Structure 1
Amino acid sequence: MAVCTDEKHHSNTSGSIRLTLLHHQYQCLDDLVCSRNGSTSAQGQAPQLASSLFFRRRRPPPRNVSAPVTSAGPFYGFVAQISLGTPPTKHSVLFDTGSSFSWVQCRPCGITSGCYSQNGPLFDSAASSTYRRLPCSSPSCQSASVATRNTLNCSVQDNTCSYRMEYSDLSASMGRLVTDRLTVGQESIPGFVFGCSQDHEGVFGSYSGIIGFGVHELSFLSQVAEAAHIYRAFSYYLPSPSSEGYIQMGNYDEEAFAFTPMFTAGQVNYLDLTGILVDGHRLNLTDKQGAPTWCYLDTGTPVSVLPRYVFDQLSDAVADRIKGYQRVQGATWCFDPWYWWTERAIPTVVMEFRDSVRLMLNKERLMSQQSDGRLCLEFDRSSNGFYILGSAQMKMTYLVQDIEKSRMGFPINFQ
């Protein structure tokens, strides 16, 4: 039985492109990604904070290439830095495994709602010699309608393909479908297809846009893999506030991981969650309707999401086994310290996936500590019965999503 831990990462980075990821409390990244004002408890805020296209959608996720990742403040994404255009200009973008479409804000802004305030300059298409608008007859225009799950509009006046990317909280990005040169690491990729956002609805934080790592051919990963002739997989490490993480696209060291099958629904990847154990006590994941326990993978969702009946079991099981804390009245997922207790202990929680692959949740991945010493579960209830593996449970551990072989890897303990 494979058990996932935080042991030393064994990587094969020959010929890779790597992007760096940073936490929202980290210092500025090249003066573009800046630290935000403190951290907030994620409990009960998942719909508001989630950046993912899956979680916010109206409709119910050779060589190597890598890039840096950073967590996005109140918006709680993880932010990478890419460069677009000729000459290249840097842009801070949210890393999203729950979507397949990429976009950044562009000049000129639209006349409807225009652009929102962001860190760093907007992408100026007029300043790039390699910028091109895509016509309505372009195959990418038709393909983007699948990636955005929306019918694309065509401007009769200039024969330009337009897109609208909608989210379940009614936020949206609107603009033109374009191509330009993408630079990631040392790799320069011509003809990268993305959305040039000129209008928006709702809130997207203060970052330039989103890069989607879903399975569609227009996803960031798919385009980079095809252009750079690399293996279609990506490994990543979501960092703490005091460290740097990464996204690495391409080959990886297979011997460093234990694998569970990965499936796809609506361009979002998911796993078969077979169990949740609290100090060895197995929770009941089967509801009255016998619904499948598909667990969607989404770095844009800040905490993992469980159906209400499973969340309640987890909260009760932790409450029965935690030592030195008492449950907060009216907030069953939070626990206050009993200061007269000298012994404190947090139960061991394990998430188990098909083929007995396990992810062990240490204290940092199970609970968040508030400024008053209170501990709160890093999980939320789902109103629609979904399971989502969010960034709180994926942080500070090495993971890989192998699109080519339809599998996800969790690190195993190499001695």
Structure 2
Amino acid sequence: MGDLLRFLPSFCHLLCFCILFVSFVYGARELADDLSTKGARALLSSGQGIKLPLKKSGRGYAVTVGFGTPKLDLSLMFDSGSHTTWIKCKPCITCNQNEPIFDPFQSSTFSSCISGNYPANQSYHDKSYATGITVHDTLTLSNGVSFPNFEFLCSHNTSGFDGFAGLLGLEFSENSFISQTTETFSQIFGYCLPSLESSTGFLAFGDEAVAACSPQFRVPLVAGPNGYDDYYVDLVAITIGEKRLQMPSNDGSSSSSKVILDSGTPFSHLPQSVYSELSSSFQELMSEYGPFYSSGSMTCFNLEGHDLSTINIPTITLQFGDSLDLTLGSISVVLIENSNACLAFIGDDETIIGTHQQQNLNILYDISNKQVGFSFSQGSCSY
């Protein structure tokens, strides 16, 4: 008992020291977090916003985002049709990328227990997927703007994302990037997708997105099956040449079709009945370049023996109603690879405006006001 009594004061001093140390570290981190958040808000209030370079890379578009402390910059595919942001993390079973794989144990701000360490799975329309656990760490954009305790998926098993370190999900939902940065960026973002891998487009947030996109016209965002989580707009018709193809109503209550704007889907998907008419009209207008054939789900023809610069690709216009028409350039109508040219639309049950039709357009999403704006870039995207 005497030994215990002699040890007790030392133990109490040690315990007090530990409590003070933990309090100091926690307080310092809270202060740093607060200063970082205030810095981000100040940046936006000064009218600068954030504008990031965007590069075409294989099946998608890559943007650089930093994770952890010290910051590890990673190339993420950005996707307006997905709400989950995720990166490949060690240990990783199927990772394939040129950049280092994020190691949670090397980050001093990493945490997997703020709201519980729970498994998560993200799957996509093309059968690709990412599985892992939901975690938290600091996410950093350019100009030192950072978001402490950002929630994302730390993936240990992926399929279909070779070359990318993960995905930046910009769909609107609880705990999405848009939700977690609302106070800083006011649920506003915009982008311009470059048509060539040698060109640079942009992904912008907040005031900078408004300035960079400068919409020529705006259309309403409309509710879909998941409310306003997905970015739906009403598409009334598609015109090819002089022929107007009426879009069928999804719910029978309107003369338009709800379509998703998606930066993660390469080609536009149309109802099978509309696609069949579009394909037939395309073949009729391009009859001198036949015969036509099917490549997967696409209508194609061979360009051998033809001068590409002399081929007149038919005009296709997306009509949103009230004279709000978006006429696509020829580069957005067909996909040209080697000596083959394919109509860059496919028939499907789900209706989507894909990235091929969004090339070289400035597209602004104002989510809180439920609007999306369009304008044409001058020839090509410019960062």
What TM bracket, shorter-length normalisation? 0.7 to 0.9
Q: Aligned match of 2:237 in 255, 275, 295?
A: 275
Structure 1 330/182 Cα, relative in aligned 2: closer, same or farther at 3 Å? Answer: closer
SS of 1:123's partner is coil
Deviation at 1:395, TM superposition (A): 0.9
Q: Aligned match of 1:232 in 151, 162, 187?
A: 187
Q: Aligned match of 1:261 in 210, 217, 220?
A: 220
| Separation (CA, whole Å) in 2 of partners of 1:211 and 1:287 | 31
Q: Which has the larger radius of gyration?
A: 2
| Separation (CA, whole Å) in 1 of partners of 2:240 and 2:44 | 39
- Say if 1:279 and 1:348, in contact at 8 Å, map to a contact too: yes
Deviation at 1:178, TM superposition (A): 1.3
| Separation (CA, whole Å) in 2 of partners of 1:81 and 1:268 | 24
SS of 1:100's partner is coil
Aligned counterparts, 1:119-268, within 5 A? 119-135=98-114, 138=115, 160-168=117-125, 170-186=127-143, 187-200=145-158, 202-226=159-183, 229-241=184-196, 242-251=198-207, 252-253=210-211, 256-265=215-224, 266=226, 267-268=229-230
- Say if 1:16 and 1:66, in contact at 8 Å, map to a contact too: no
Deviation at 1:277, TM superposition (A): 0.6
- Say if 1:301 and 1:391, in contact at 8 Å, map to a contact too: yes
- Say if 2:215 and 2:362, in contact at 8 Å, map to a contact too: no
Aligned counterparts, 1:304-383, within 5 A? 304-322=268-286, 324-330=288-294, 333-337=299-303, 339=305, 344-372=311-339, 374-382=340-348
Deviation at 1:365, TM superposition (A): 0.2
Q: Give the aligned length.
A: 323
- Code of the residue aligned with 1:88 in structure 2: it is K
Which has a greater percent of helix? 2
Deviation at 1:284, TM superposition (A): 3.2
- Say if 1:69 and 1:95, in contact at 8 Å, map to a contact too: no
Q: Which of 1 and 2 has higher RCO (CA within 8 Å, sep 6+)? A: 1
Could you list the per-position Cα deviations for residues 99-149 of structure 1 after superposition, in whole angstroms to 9, with x for gaps in the alignment? 11101011233xxxx2421221111111111111134xx2xxxxxxxxxxx
- Say if 1:324 and 1:337, in contact at 8 Å, map to a contact too: no
Unaligned runs of 5+ in 2: 1-41, 379-383
Could you list the per-position Cα deviations for residues 148-204 of structure 1 after superposition, in whole angstroms to 9, with x for gaps in the alignment? xxxxxxxxxxx623322233455432222111111101112211111111233x322
- Say if 1:323 and 1:344, in contact at 8 Å, map to a contact too: no
Structure 1 405/314 Cα, relative in aligned 2: closer, same or farther at 3 Å? Answer: same
Per the alignment, residue 408 of structure 1 pairs with 372
Aligned counterparts, 1:75-90, within 5 A? 76-90=59-73
Structure 1 281/403 Cα, relative in aligned 2: closer, same or farther at 3 Å? Answer: same
Deviation at 1:290, TM superposition (A): 4.5
Deviation at 1:220, TM superposition (A): 1.7
Per the alignment, residue 285 of structure 1 pairs with 247
- Say if 2:249 and 2:257, in contact at 8 Å, map to a contact too: no
Are positions 1:117 and 2:72 aligned together?
no
Deviation at 1:255, TM superposition (A): 5.4
- Say if 2:360 and 2:376, in contact at 8 Å, map to a contact too: no
Per the alignment, residue 388 of structure 1 pairs with 352
- Say if 1:91 and 1:208, in contact at 8 Å, map to a contact too: yes
Deviation at 1:346, TM superposition (A): 1.9
| Separation (CA, whole Å) in 2 of partners of 1:255 and 1:88 | 32
CA RMSD of aligned residues (A): 2.8
The percent of aligned pairs where both chains have the same amino acid is 30
Per the alignment, residue 32 of structure 2 pairs with none
Are positions 1:71 and 2:49 aligned together?
no
Structure 1 88/337 Cα, relative in aligned 2: closer, same or farther at 3 Å? Answer: closer
Per the alignment, residue 5 of structure 2 pairs with none
